[in-house]
Structure 1
Amino acid sequence: MPEAILVLEDGRRFRGEAYGAIGETFGEAVFATAMTGYQETLTDPSYHRQVVVMTAPHVGNTGWNDEDDESSRIWVAGYVVRDPARLASNWRARRSLDDELKAQGIVGISGIDTRALTRHLRDKGAMRVGISSEGTDPEALLAKVLEQPSMAGANLVDDVTTDHPYVVPAEGEKLFTVAAVDLGIKAMTPQRMAQRGIEVHVLPASSSLDDIRATGADGVFFSNGPGDPAAAEHSVQLLQQVLTAGMPYFGICFGNQIFGRALGLGTYKLPFGHRGVNQPVMDLGTRKVEITSQNHGFAVDAPVGDDLDTPYGTARVSHIGLNDHVVEGLELRKDGKLIAFSVQYHPEAAAGPHDAAYLFDRFVDLLKDN
């Protein structure tokens, strides 16, 4: 395999072999701690403009199938693995991971010490990075890395949202209609709602309140997505209109951050984010701990344990991460009644775990109650 090089913006460099497409790529270096579900990770639009470092050493064992994609394409800017599988072995596999990366033009690198790289990112924080298998001059690549934009302040929603509305029909008896604003939605999310009798109208991020009402929605959902929530002004304003109209609301990941900003709270960039399928979260209402799937680099800045007066009702933090006490969920009540809630993690959980699937049932209960 051709030689490849990875260079971080602080000058740290790693040499390895080309993996996937030959070329040059740039993005924000982040690490993901999942040991499974790499296909879902790669096709998650929340990873747009990010170079993903896999902490699991052996990647690609189960190849690539045609069923597990979370969107229509691979979104990561680059891919970093230690030991790529030499042979894919799974009854659903149609091709190898390497073949799919090449087919979609995703530049990667293998054969490097991903543990050392992960420890560096954990200590120094996520940062800009470049990978090249075309030229291996580290100084030349570093100069290009330093020209790349930061993730802070990046509005990436328009890059990943659908360009046209579409409907995911309810399975079995239709109970409710939900307007899902696509900020980078994963395919499994409307499927989880459809399994519970919800007809999901997926709308572009540029949609208006009139567009939402035109679906006949009983409730509104905002999805996960990439970028800085502080730059997504239209989404915040739209959600404020939804809350003013008194429509039930559920948000996931970026939808949690947008909810926080709509309530008047701030958001901030985490040092290295939470990415993996092994993140412990406590539901402060039930005191139960869930092992969750996460992918976020920003978080809501809100006090834990305090009721917050907002123009729409009383808000409070509903979930916290047990590793670092990051806000992992919010809820909004009016006259003591739940009218909106969100979580920072992924209850649709493809490829798992499924500890948090109850949140979709909670959304159904919210729709019933309102």
Structure 2
Amino acid sequence: MTNTALLRQDLARELAARGRLTDPAWRAAVEAVPRELFLGDAVFRPHGTRWEPVRREQLDDDEWLRMVHSDTTWVTQVDGIGAREATAPVAGRPTSSGTLPSLVARMLELADVRDGHRVLEIGTGTGYSTAVLCHRLGDEHVYSAEYDETVAAAAAQHLRAAGCSPHLVVGDGLRGHQDGADYDTVIATCAVRTVPPSWLWQLRDGGGITTTISGWMLGSGLIRLVLDEEGVAHGRFAADPVSYMLARPHERPPRSTFYAHPGSTRETRLSPDLLDDWTGLFVAQLGAPSAELVRLAEGVALVDAATGSQAWTEPDGAGGGWRVHQDGPLHLWDQVEDALDAWQKAGSPDQTAFGMTVTEWDQVVWLGDPEGPCWRLPT
């Protein structure tokens, strides 16, 4: 029989060698928490454009245990369908997963969680990261909120099996959890378009919020914000190319099939290939925060579901450049180009050059310093 303790030690050793696990206390937690308890007996893996269920009984025990102890994100639910329920590959968006352990460790180390801290985790998911927090801090200091009732029930089972009893909340984590406030740290294992004011209200002065800022183009930036005594949170983005699923209330709206309208046409100032760059996509999203990105066979399209505005690019033929067609009240490509132009003028830096200032009434991402180019997030 496979020794799972050795698998956990191997995983911790691998993460430490890659610089993802530098704190001995978090390393001890990774070595102690049995990840196999949190993934159940079925997960999804990519299968072309669909998600294929993989069941434990399909593999020998050693293969399954080595698989679930790898540094991999395993999707456990797609559009509300659990991996155990699926009988064939399914299409859709992942709606819950077991995050790869290196990212769990990175988030916890970035959050600067210390012994004795009271932590609110947004997104219990499988419960694995919750258990890691419990190992370090003690059950009484850990609060975790999960939006999906089915996912929350499974996580509670997993945590009981692991001997953990944190404070579990079923409901909208964007509202926080007032009963446990004030928190030293809020950690979100889902992405948000804007930081919910409730997280600020429930945080002690000097406390931190660690989250990913994302949007409908699925650009993403990881940040830790620290709350000052005036009730303003500040922070700079990390360089890590980290992405999480958007919180359910922040998800993209339903979009009908894209039809390219000719609209007004001009040559682009910048290539749509810039949106293939991690930071380039993040900046483009800052410029047009209400737009969803559609990848075309050649070029890209931007679609705003609320206004019907759209922009789409195509090669301009022999010239080697690009044309853009824009239609509707918002000139989406103009907004994107203005943002990308400001970024390029600053030397196209990575995301560590960007910071964010958050108040109850305003949220701004800035480049360089708060007096530099800036973009307001949607409210």
TM-score, normalization by structure 2: 0.28
Structure with the greater relative contact order (CA < 8 A, sep ≥ 6): 1 or 2? 1
Q: Hey, which of these two has a bigger chunk of strand by percent?
A: 1
- Structure number with greater Rg is 2
TM-score, normalization by structure 1: 0.28
Q: Hey, which of these two has a bigger chunk of helix by percent?
A: 2
